[in-house]
Amino acid sequence: MAIKIIGFDADDTLWVNEPHYQNTEKYFLDLLKGYATREEISSALFKTEIENLELYGYGAKGFILSMTETAIRISNRKVTAEEISKIIEMGKSLMDMPIEILEGVEQVLSQLKNRYKLIVVTKGDLLDQERKLRKSGLAHYFDHIEIVSDKKEKDYKTLISHLGIETKEFMMIGNSMKSDIFPVLDIGGYAIHVPYHTTWAHENAEVSPGERIQFKSVSKLSDVLKIL
């Protein structure tokens, strides 16, 4: 491998994220239980989130708006101002969650920093992701921070061009097969999958990358050091 730059996903690769969303959704389901079943509300929320991705993108603000829209729909416009207020407070609490660094993160970053150029490649709301990175205390490990609206092939091609390297000189490390692994492999880069026990349904990928020389999967982030 002639790797020069390693990109790290942020949410659920460097720090805990999805469990906070799932806990917030549980509170949301409890709040609206008088209007429909938990399964109906959860399904309606997921549908609304997916429909709104083109408008709001990824992140907590879009989640708040999708919860609000779902509440209006599922209640047949009977949701109260007090309930809407509670939804907004849920969203604000979500954005103010403490940052919990995942095991092995600082060990890996500190050992790789002097050997490679390290960057963060994350999607979501700009202010929210900047806030999380600042609160994490990890920013000093990275030479560049890239916050994008999505992580598809074209987004990685643009990033790699901006970095001034070839795709074969780039490696991405992350927990999402859909966002962190397949797009990078498909343009000729390297990727290491670090599964996280909780992943948003939209990020799940049912297909396998197969036997690709550019791909590795590890059980925990510290195993990356054995590969590199």
H-helix or E-strand spanning residue 173: strand 170-174
**pLDDT tens per residue, range 36-56:** 999 999 999 999 999 999 899
**Among the CATH numbers 3.40.1010.10, 3.40.50.300, 1.10.150.240, 2.40.50.100, which is that of 18-95?**
1.10.150.240
| pLDDT grade for 124, boundaries at 50, 70 and 90 | confident
Looking at residue 198, what is its pLDDT? 62
pLDDT at 128 over 70: yes
Q: How far apart are CA 213 and CA 190, in angstroms?
A: 8
| Rounded mean pLDDT, 23-30 | 96
**pLDDT tens per residue, range 155-211:** 999 999 999 999 999 999 999 999 999 999 999 999 999 998 765 454 555 556 666
Q: How far apart are CA 177 and CA 215, in angstroms?
A: 11
Q: Where would I find the beta strands (DSSP E) of the chain?
A: 5-8, 117-123, 144-148, 170-174, 190-193, 215-217
Q: What is the DSSP letter of 187?
A: T
Cα 4–chain centre separation: 23
- The more confidently predicted of residues 23 and 212 is 23
Domains 5-16+100-227 and 18-95 share a fold: no
Domain ranges of the chain: 5-16+100-227, 18-95
Looking at residue 92, what is its pLDDT? 94
Token digits of residue 96: 């103010």
Looking at residue 211, what is its pLDDT? 62
Instruction: Give the number of other Cβ atoms within 10 Å of residue 96's Cβ.
Output: 10
**Among the CATH numbers 3.90.1200.10, 3.40.50.1000, 3.20.20.70, 3.30.930.10, which is that of 5-16+100-227?**
3.40.50.1000
Q: Report yes or no: 183 and 153 within 8 Å, Cβ to Cβ.
A: yes
| Rounded mean pLDDT, 78-98 | 95
Q: How far apart are CA 66 and CA 75, in angstroms?
A: 14
Q: Report yes or no: 152 and 172 within 8 Å, Cβ to Cβ.
A: no
Model confidence pTM above 0.85:
yes
Residue 78 Cα distances to 30, 72, 87, 145, 160, angstroms = 16, 7, 15, 43, 49
DSSP β-ladder status, 190-193 and 170-174 = parallel
Q: How far apart are CA 24 and CA 198, in angstroms?
A: 14
| pLDDT grade for 149, boundaries at 50, 70 and 90 | confident
